[in-house]
Amino acid sequence: MLKSNKTLGIIFFPAFDWAISPTHPERQERLLYTQDQLREEGLFDIEGVGEYKPDVAAVEDVERVHFCFPEVAAVATRSHLISAGGAMKAADLVMEGERDCAFAMVRPPGHHAMKVVHGSRGFCTINIEAVMIEHIREKYGRKRIAIVDTDCHHGDGTQDVYWHDPDTLFISLHQDGRTLYPGTGFPRELGGPNAMGRTINIPLPPNTSDEGFLMAVERIVLPILEDFKPDLVINSAGQDNHFTDPITNMNFSAQGYAAMNDMLKPDIAVLEGGYSIQGALPYINLGICLAMAGVDYSHVREPNYNAERIRQDARTTAYIEELCKQLPALYFDPPEFVPKDDSRVGVISGNTFIRHKQIYYDTDGINEVQQESVTLCKQCRGLYKVETRADSGPLCLGVEIPIDACPECRARGYQMVEDAQIKGTYRYIQLINRLDKEYARYGF
């Protein structure tokens, strides 16, 4: 029997009872073909590779991360909770030493779900990576964590969740937002004033192939990871950069995905996008599993692969080479945060950073307006507050006391919630207190 160099845990959850529509790209077949492929290739016959069932995330696991309005049950189904629970199971396998690494092949995906949730956007409702990461911090203590998002679409939700968190490094490689949903993920997006340089975006031009992706990983991602020295590396493993994917414009291959994973060496991978259900996903997932287990993946090849046909042109290579020269400085020597009059970018009033956002939930057709504010505290990462309204619905309030909260920010957080209850301005109020592990709702 073939033996892996690293023990690998695999968690499957195809979500048979959840799909946007029977013919939508985000449906259960995304994982059923992969399951068949992995069994046919004998992956589970390799010593050190094991399959596990997902856990089910509790409401509190979601509320540790998100402000869900009016409540978690109104926006998320049991399938969403099991998908997040599958990611949490992967984390527990690694953190408790049962497996060296783990791959959560679960759906629905999550990386477009932002800090505030009123519904679904980009096929995502709750951010399963963020739920997993905050589960790790709650159960196993504070950790420095790096997320490398390799989905073709910019992980705007994960970026939003960790915009103000200096302990989380978020790196996203994606198709340039000028050419693809969600239209974000540009180099100037570097994080909030308390976490400048902890967000790094690498927008790649359409038709980037293996050469460009692996160049960006080698010259930008790996040096940054080496300097950041994370306790854990998480791969938000979107697979829609493949040359056969029906909704994107990239030329990555299954072999390239495996090589990229081999370079990143993530502790945990969590499936995100990827909609070439038969022609790509089974082969990409197989290659990633073999790479994570430290087994030879050179034989993995998808149908219709033709290296010459998908090779990137010289202009694309030159463009990516220039990105590789310029982008590392945004992490190693980030510019000082400069507030602007445009409140969408962010302004500073006294000791408070304020930003206005308009968010469209394309899956559910919801328009949201919100104002977020963060205390610029010298003792901790600052008290977080968000006022939000979806369409013509009620005004809602979210307050988060950070995990490293100083006594003053903690007291101000409780005072803010108490004042809101007395004034009656908000229909729903949610408190996230990471310091004392208290998660409360008011207004029901």
Which residues are designated catalytic?
112
Q: Burial-class residue 23 by CB neighbours within 10 Å (0-12, 13-18, 19+).
A: exposed
Q: Tokens for 18, please give them.
A: 């959840």
Q: 335 preceded by cis ω (within 30°)?
A: no
Alpha helices (H) along 175-327:
210-216, 222-228, 254-264, 281-293, 307-310, 314-326
* Total residues found in the chain within this entry: 444
Q: At 26, which amino acid appears? A: E
* Gyration radius from the chain CA atoms: 21
How many Cα neighbours within 13 Å face the side chain of 317?
Answer: 6
How many helices (H) does the chain have, and how many strands (E)?
Answer: 14, 17
Yes or no: say if 355 and 371 are a contact pair by the CB < 8 Å rule.
yes
End-to-end CA distance of the chain: 58
Task: Select from 144, 169, 173 the least CA-distant residue to 334.
Answer: 169
Kind and range of the H or E element at 132? Answer: helix 128-140
Q: Can you tell me the distance from the alpha carbon of 98 to that of 5, in angstroms, rounded to the nearest whole number? A: 15
Q: Can you tell me the distance from the alpha carbon of 408 to that of 353, in angstroms, rounded to the nearest whole number? A: 17
- Residues in Cβ contact with 11 at an 8 Å cutoff, skipping those fewer than 6 apart: 51, 52, 53, 54, 86, 87, 89, 90, 102, 103, 104, 105, 106
